[in-house]
């Protein structure tokens, strides 16, 4: 397997959406939740940055109630842009699969960390957070 972790660096990450349904009492420790995750990649052509937008919806497994809608954006800077990203016609692009997958996994890890920080001291903080393993 090719080591691509030195092919880029994370330059910024932020929460762009946080919608937590209000509840009166906290979940018991260890409650398992379900989730869905979507990810979109965009290229900032002018600054030569990759943006990964990650959206996570957390659902109560027992009744399918949506509890959280969470979105992040992570920006990556390829160290040698032309080595991993090919600009195609009509402002489209192609990215090396190994680098694309690596950035995707890092963005999911960052999203998980940001979720954990934002959910501290909420009713959902005792529950087991989703997003592991990194396959979606």
CATH class for the region spanning 8-119: alpha beta
State how far the alpha carbon of 48 is from the alpha carbons of 5, 27, 39, in Å: 18, 43, 19
Please tell me the distance from the alpha carbon of residue 51 to that of residue 54, in angstroms, as a whole number. 10
Task: Tell me the pLDDT tens digit for each residue of 64-113.
Answer: 889 999 999 999 999 888 888 988 998 889 999 999 999 999 999 999 89
Q: Which of 102, 83, 89 is nearest to 41 (CA)?
A: 102
Do 59 and 66 contact (CB within 8 A), yes or no? yes
Do 94 and 85 contact (CB within 8 A), yes or no? yes
Residue 69: its pLDDT value, please?
96
Entry pTM:
0.85
């Amino acid at each position: 397997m090719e080591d691509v972790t030195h092919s880029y660096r994370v330059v910024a990450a932020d929460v762009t959406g946080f919608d937590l349904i209000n509840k009166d009492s906290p979940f018991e420790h260890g409650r398992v939740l379900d989730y869905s995750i979507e990810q979109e990649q965009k290229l900032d052509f002018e600054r030569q940055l990759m943006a990964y937008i990650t959206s996570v919806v957390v659902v109560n497994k027992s009744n399918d109630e949506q509890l959280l809608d969470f979105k992040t954006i992570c920006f990556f800077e390829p160290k040698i842009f032309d080595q991993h990203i090919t600009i195609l016609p009509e402002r489209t692009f192609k990215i090396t699969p190994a680098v694309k997958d690596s950035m995707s996994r890092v963005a999911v890890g960052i999203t998980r960390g940001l979720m954990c920080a934002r959910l501290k001291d909420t009713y959902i903080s005792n529950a087991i957070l989703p997003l592991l393993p990194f396959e979606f």
